[in-house]
Amino acid sequence: MTRRRWIADKWDDETATLTGSQAAHLARVLRAERGMKADVVAGGRLFHSTVDEVRQDDNGEMEVRFALLDEASAESALPITLVMAVYKFDRMEWAIEKATELGVAAIAPVIARRSEKHLAQSAAKRAERWRRIAREAAQQSRRSDVPEIHDPVVLKERMQLEMNAVRIVLAEQERATMLHETVQGAIQDHESTPAFEIAVGPEGGWAPEEAKMFEANGWKAVSLGSRILRAETAAIAALAVTASLLE
Ligand code: SAH
């Protein structure tokens, strides 16, 4: 039998229980018996489990109790790396937290021409804190994995990495190409879901020579609409749009 996912009606730390029609179906139709394996969602978390007991309660209703074995990885991360220009740390931290909630696989901080000097200099020391923020956000949103936070590098260095991903740079000057069209097109052009890199600029935006560098390295400039967004808003909006097309 393929492993179905059961959403528990009651649970504690070690067990989860199905009641009512779910239990009746599992017991009578699927002939559940002790030891049968199943995946069970208890309190929003997914567990590998085995059936521990099938019984009728005092009112003659079926009840199936599972022993929760180990937590299974729930949904895998979205195949998206957010390339984020270093800018005001408090806002970056907010973006890291929200990007994690939205399911980003990795965040790559980059030092852009318009990243403030003192922030660029202390970015490397911040990476540990960013990792902690990502870990806490991942737990809070019940992710089973924690997004990877890369060490910050200058943008040029990131551009030189070999990458097998659809490369998208958010650019407020872009008018013709919208993010969702580009993502949709990329999904249609690939047999299996491609990985995406999405770059968002610092408060001052990308410098003209950076825009050229992106273009020369195969990045497609896209718009999120005619309004200028703060970098953290642009990052979150871009992830939400992309996620909606991937899920
Ligand atoms: N300083 C610029 C705005 C920079 S906004 C100005 O005031 O004109 C910071 C970053 O957010 C940009 O580099 C871009 O990556 C992203 N961004 C903001 N609004 C956007 C939009 N409408 N479309 C695409 N990207 C946007």
pLDDT tens digit sequence for 76-90: 689 999 999 999 999
Q: Is 229 in the pocket of ligand 1 (CB under 6 A)?
A: yes
pLDDT at 2: 44
Domain end among 72, 95, 129: 72
- Phi, psi (deg, nearest 5) at residue 69: -90, -75
Q: Is 83 in the pocket of ligand 1 (CB under 6 A)?
A: no
- Residue pair 141/100 in contact (Cβ under 8 Å)? The answer is yes
Residues lower than pLDDT 50 in the chain: 1-2
Opening angle at CA 101, ends 116 and 167, nearest 5: 60
Domain end among 72, 91, 115: 72
Number of other CB atoms surrounding residue 167 within 10 Å: 19
In this structure, what is the dihedral angle of CA atoms 4, 8, 12, 15, given to the nearest 10 degrees? -40
- Separation between Cα atoms, residue 74 and residue 91, nearest integer Å: 29
pLDDT at 220: 98
pLDDT at 235: 98
Q: Which atom of ligand 1 is nearest to the CA of 206?
A: 13
- Separation between Cα atoms, residue 4 and residue 172, nearest integer Å: 46
* C-alpha count within 13 angstroms, C-beta hemisphere, residue 207: 10
Pocket test for ligand 1, best of 83, 228, 233, 236 (most atoms within 8 A of CB): 228
pLDDT at 21: 86
In a shared domain, residues 62 and 164: no
In a shared domain, residues 64 and 155: no
Domain count, the chain: 2
- Residue pair 107/96 in contact (Cβ under 8 Å)? The answer is yes
In a shared domain, residues 84 and 59: no
Ligand 1 centre to CA of 221 (Å) is: 11
DSSP state of 204: T
- Residue pair 14/43 in contact (Cβ under 8 Å)? The answer is no
pLDDT at 74: 66
Ligand 1 centre to CA of 198 (Å) is: 13
In a shared domain, residues 94 and 164: yes
Q: Is 223 in the pocket of ligand 1 (CB under 6 A)?
A: yes
Q: Is 179 in the pocket of ligand 1 (CB under 6 A)?
A: no
pLDDT at 144: 66
- Separation between Cα atoms, residue 178 and residue 170, nearest integer Å: 9
Number of other CB atoms surrounding residue 151 within 10 Å: 9
Q: Is 175 in the pocket of ligand 1 (CB under 6 A)?
A: no
In a shared domain, residues 33 and 11: yes
